[in-house]
């Protein structure tokens, strides 16, 4: 039953103005539904729209000015959903978003999604569908971010940073660096040095169809080289070290492509402890070109990824601008690769 708008209740205790959640509670709907009504979304039934508008009028609810600044009822802000804030690719993408947002006077918030479990994904989605979250950028480098991206309401303004080619099953705008081609280039470099094949230590975000793994496989198959079993590694250095020990024990291993530079360092340590010289006996290639990679001993051959530019491009896209062209990933050849013995 809809109460008459003349039956106006007193303001909440302390004189605080009503919030969007107060409207939702009084109308018996979710705050996302109230947001859709405020944004004139077509995805609301006429009856529900009348009910919500009546409650808005009765409670004298007024969306604050900041919450309308970007249009669509979203706050003058952007919220980044990510599974990690410390790993190099994630942190650098976040850096680019923050730098670009600061120039536009936008506040930046971060919502960490703990895992790809349904409850964790749902909680993250609920958080960013509140209008106070502003526009949304999802760092979908992994299954947790991908789960959030697929679960976002269709009318929520959002852009994703993804692996090469975008995210299957999602029609969201996505910005990406061509990791597949870069991994193929790195693998081809090792093959051209004369290595019979290239082994691969994968990072946890990789799947059998991920860009880095697919590019590695593409280059091996194109050259008619054997495709070894992928050696899985974790995000932690110890798991990468164990993967390196496994490869160091196999005398047939002469070339290793690591899923990122943070994996390459403990792999290099395992080879050193096993008496396998780099690059005299085994060549090692990383991915990302983290600060300091050029100063390892030997200096690391790796793929340079401009994650900061990726973040800036995502911010441009979510604010309605055309992102400027991204520099493609580039293989940087240093001392850690050489012809096989």
Q: How far apart are CA 255 and CA 193, in angstroms?
A: 10
User: d(Cα 60, Cα 73) in Å, to the nearest integer?
Assistant: 17
- Please, which pLDDT band fits residue 75 given cuts at 50, 70 and 90? low
Is the pLDDT confidence value at 45 over 60? yes
State what percent of residues in the chain have pLDDT above 90.
60
Name the phi and psi angles at 304, rounded to 5: -85, 120
pLDDT given at position 14: 47
Task: Give the helix/strand (H/E) hosting 32.
Answer: helix 31-38
Residue 177 or residue 206, greater confidence:
177
In this structure, the dihedral spanned by the alpha carbons of residues 194, 199, 203 and 209, taken in order and rounded to 10 degrees, is 90
Of 144-148, 204-208, 288-292, minimum mean pLDDT range? 204-208
Degrees (nearest 5) of the Cα angle 335, 273, 239? 90
Judged against a pLDDT cut of 80, whether residue 209 lies above it is answered with no
- The reported pLDDT for the residue numbered 197 is 98
Mean pLDDT of 147-176: 85
DSSP character at residue 3: P
Q: What pLDDT is stored for residue 171 in this prediction?
A: 80
Q: Please state which of the ranges 40-49, 83-92, 150-159, 312-321 shows the lowest mean pLDDT.
A: 40-49
pLDDT confidence of residue 321: 87
Does the pLDDT of residue 12 top 60, yes or no? no
CA distance 226 to 220: 7
The more confident residue out of 5 and 310 is 310
More confident residue, 10 or 315: 315
Q: Long-range contacts made by residues 23-30, C-beta under 8 angstroms, separation at least 24?
A: 23/52, 23/55, 23/56, 23/59, 23/61, 26/55, 26/58, 26/59, 27/51, 27/52, 27/55
In the prediction, which pLDDT does 170 show?
76
pLDDT attached to residue 278: 97
- Sign of the dihedral defined by the CA atoms of residues 269, 272, 274, 277, in that order: positive
Torsion of CA 215, 88, 260, 308, to 10 degrees: 30
Mean pLDDT over the full length of the chain = 87
Measure the CA–CA gap between 324 and 327, rounded to whole angstroms.
10
Q: What are the residues facing 158 on neighbouring strands?
A: 136
pLDDT band at 9 (very low <50, low <70, confident <90, very high): very low
This prediction's pTM: 0.76
pLDDT at position 234 is: 83
For residue range 242-261, list pLDDT tens digits in order. Answer: 999 999 999 999 999 999 99
3-state helix, strand, coil in the chain (%, to 5): 40, 15, 45
CB within 8 A of 199, min separation 6: which ones? 228, 231, 247, 253, 255, 256, 257
């Amino acid at each position: 039953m809809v109460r008459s708008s003349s039956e106006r209740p007193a303001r909440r205790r302390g004189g605080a103005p009503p919030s969007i959640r107060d409207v939702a509670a009084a109308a018996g709907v979710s705050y996302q539904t109230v947001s859709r009504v405020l944004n004139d979304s077509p995805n609301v039934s006429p009856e529900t729209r009348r009910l919500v508008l009546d409650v808005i009028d009765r409670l004298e609810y007024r969306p604050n000015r900041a919450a309308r600044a970007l249009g669509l009822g979203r706050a003058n802000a952007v919220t980044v959903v990510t599974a990690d804030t410390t790993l190099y690719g994630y942190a650098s993408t976040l850096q680019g978003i923050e730098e670009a947002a600061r120039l536009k006077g936008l506040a930046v918030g971060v919502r960490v999604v703990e895992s790809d479990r349904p409850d964790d994904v749902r909680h993250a989605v609920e958080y960013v569908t509140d209008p106070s979250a502003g526009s949304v950028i999802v760092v979908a480098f992994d299954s947790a971010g991908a789960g959030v991206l697929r679960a976002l309401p269709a009318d929520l303004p959002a852009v994703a940073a993804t692996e090469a080619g975008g995210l299957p099953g999602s029609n969201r705008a996505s910005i990406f660096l061509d990791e597949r081609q870069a991994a193929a280039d790195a693998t081809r470099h090792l093959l051209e040095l004369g290595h019979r094949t290239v082994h691969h230590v994968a990072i946890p975000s990789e799947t059998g169809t991920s860009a880095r793994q697919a590019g590695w496989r593409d280059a091996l198959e194109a050259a008619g080289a054997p495709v070894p079993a992928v050696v899985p590694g974790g995000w932690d250095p110890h798991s990468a070290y164990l993967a390196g020990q496994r490869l160091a024990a196999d005398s047939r291993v002469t070339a290793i492509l690591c899923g990122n530079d943070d994996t390459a360092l403990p792999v290099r340590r395992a080879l050193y402890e096993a008496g396998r010289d780099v690059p005299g006996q085994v060549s090692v290639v990383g991915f990302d070109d983290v600060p300091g990679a050029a100063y390892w001993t030997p200096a690391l051959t790796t793929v340079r990824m401009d994650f900061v530019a990726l973040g800036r491009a995502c911010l441009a896209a979510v604010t309605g601008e055309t992102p400027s062209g991204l520099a493609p990933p580039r293989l940087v050849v240093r001392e850690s690769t050489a012809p096989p013995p």
